[in-house]
Structure 1
């Protein structure tokens, strides 16, 4: 029997306080969920508080059948106030000094990291030195074959040039959107087209793959030798929460399965478009029914 792929999302774990009520949030959990929808086993490495909101998160992770590498700490469970624009685009107000700022690696987590086929981390969970150091240690516990995915995920003012550079050095796969690429271009003084900037990032940081998503304008996948562009499907958007995380999760499983770049890209686009048609980041779906839902 073929070994089941094992992927870990590391970083922020919280409640998104949406207009219709709270929903489980944080890019790492979303990534793990969508990778699991693709047939992998997902795990989440984070921290929640010793409080009722933390209890609820642990219960939700268990219901999703995602492995828990979650520490309980004496800080409040993270929350984010989410406002949606008229076309479903979210803006975030992220509470500071919360549990996921204080991630600690258990011995069990260290053992699991060594088994991982892929791990995904971002810049947001590195805003605090404690979690930043633990995330770096976690990456060092993985094997040489493990995909280290930096889903840059710039939020508010919670990032620095130093953290971004170090993360780019640590990763071998990068996921970035067009707005984030513009921020990095201004930060580093890059010139040229978006494609040229992506090719520079691949060459300079020796990346195996780079994903550039551009919202309604489409998306790109790059490797050293290949490039794929696809338009974004036209769908009725409920909200875009978690769409980027679903793209990353699907993309990584496709890469681990050694699928052709065009096939990886098409499935990532289809799933992320479907997620936009549903409220929240983790809708249930059957992969063979996705195209029926978005008319692809």
Structure 2
């Protein structure tokens, strides 16, 4: 269980009027896989500023391994404001540290020892981090599992970034909103979601496609089977990081040798639990962690 699993990309603070919360899908993913006994790593960059130091302190408190380079750019933030109706609006600040993750010798050495890596589209909006992600994925061992959690945000993606990422991945994680965007990009609007997932599986020679649909359940597809799991009805505290915990739980169970339906069921249970907690990085229940002991 000492296999290295990396969350590669953005790390930032979500800034609310009254508080700030550590964020970034790759870091959430890395934290959850570490709870399952794997050697989880957050790989990103921060600024040489107070917010950057606070990120490093927070990761230390969570006992999460990290390779976080310090840059001359400010630490990433997302300004979150609420409209009169209470609807959140997000402003993802640009040209920040995680847009400029350098590919260093330390990064190369970590890549050579990595058993699985999860990355998205957001951290590829700037060429520096995009090139680092590409180099990292080219450096990992041939049997490394490469998960593209597409994670479309605002206007920070292009068809080319999505396509190039799919070509170098084994696993795609996508939600019901994101699959509509992909359908538009490829002119597949008339195709239903399940067939669209199979199209992506075949077109990009993927091993697995994961489709999450919120309260409507989730699917896992490969060339041999389709797994469906309903979403449990729970009292939701917030949904922040639920998708990242789903991905982490599925990957951890799959790498532990569980068949796809069992790994899928476990991912659903873990993400439902995270929805009942506040924040993206809650401590998981002992029952979830026992599976890996």
TM range (shorter): over 0.9
Gaps of 5+ in 2: none
Task: After TM superposition, give the deviation of residue 20 of structure 1 in Å.
Answer: 5.0
Aligned residue pairs total: 288
Q: How far does residue 52 in structure 1 lie from its aligned partner after superposition? A: 0.3
Query: 2:245 aligns to what SS in structure 1?
Result: helix
Alignment correspondent of 1:10: 8
What is the CA distance between 1:5 and its match in structure 2? 2.2
Q: Residues 84, 289 of structure 1: CA spacing in aligned structure 2 closer, same or farther, 3 A cutoff?
A: farther
Q: 2:73 aligns with which of 72, 75, 81?
A: 75
Alpha carbons 2:42, 2:67 under 8 Å: kept: yes
Query: Which residue of the partner structure matches residue 24 of structure 1?
Result: 22
Q: In the TM superposition, what is the alpha-carbon distance from 1:61 to its structure 2 partner?
A: 1.1
Over 3 Å counting, the alpha-carbon distance change for 1:271 and 1:85 in structure 2 is farther
1-structure distance, mates of 2:221, 2:3:
23
Q: Give the CA RMSD over aligned residues.
A: 2.0
Residues 1:232 and 2:231 are matched in the alignment = yes
CA separation in 2, counterparts of 1:256 and 1:231?
Answer: 23
Aligned to 1:108: 106
Task: Please identify runs of 4+ aligned residues in structure 1 that moved more than 6 A.
Answer: none
What is the deviation of 1:91? 5.1
TM-score (norm 1): 0.93
Query: Do the aligned partners of 1:90 and 1:241 also contact (CA within 8 Å) in 2?
Result: no
Match of 2:269 in 1: 270
- TM-score, normalised with respect to structure 2: 0.94
Deviation of 1:56 (Å) = 0.5
Which consecutive unaligned segments of at least 5 residues does structure 1 have?
Answer: 291-296
C-alpha spacing 1:45/1:193, structure 2 compared with 1 (3 Å): same
* Contact 1:48 1:77 (8 Å CA) reproduced: yes
CA deviation string 1:75-104 (max 9, x = no partner): 110011235799x99653211111000000
C-alpha contact 2:274 2:284 (8 A) present in aligned 1: no
